């Protein structure tokens, strides 16, 4: 039943193309994780990113906030 519907559909290429793009992206990410991250220093650098100091905000002095929460 579905074979007849899909055999006559001109738009069957789009879900197949989406599936191929997804699979290629997934395989690419897996290859990067397993083959591209073999360097322990690089893994440690990536793991420390959320904890790293942001150099853009280090230049600004600490501005004390008011007790009632209003902006100065």
List b or e across 30-54, with b for residues whose CB sees 16 or more CB atoms inside 10 angstroms: eeeeeeeeeeeeeeeeeeeeeeeee
Does residue 71 lie in a domain region?
A: no
Computed over every residue of the chain, the mean pLDDT equals: 78
The whole-angstrom distance between residue 17's C-alpha and the CA centroid of its chain comes to 21
Q: Which domain holds residue 7?
A: 2-49
What is the domain count for the chain?
1
Q: Is residue 54 part of a domain?
A: no
Reported as a single tens digit per residue, the pLDDT across 15-42 is 889 999 999 999 999 999 899 888 888 8
pLDDT at 17: 93
Give the pLDDT confidence score for residue 46 in this predicted structure. Answer: 84
Q: Is the pLDDT of residue 66 over 60?
A: no
The pLDDT value recorded for residue 15 is 86
Residue 63: inside a domain? no
Is residue 69 included in any domain, yes or no? no
Per-residue DSSP letter, 54? P
pLDDT of residue 51: 77
Residue 36 lies in a domain: yes
């Amino acid at each position: 039943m579905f074979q007849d519907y899909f055999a006559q559909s001109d738009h069957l290429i789009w879900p197949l193309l989406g599936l191929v793009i997804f699979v290629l992206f997934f395989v690419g990410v897996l290859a990067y994780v397993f083959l591209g991250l073999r360097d322990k220093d690089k893994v440690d650098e990536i793991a420390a990113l959320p904890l790293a100091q942001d150099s853009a905000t280090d230049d600004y002095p600490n501005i004390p906030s008011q007790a009632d929460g209003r902006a100065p």
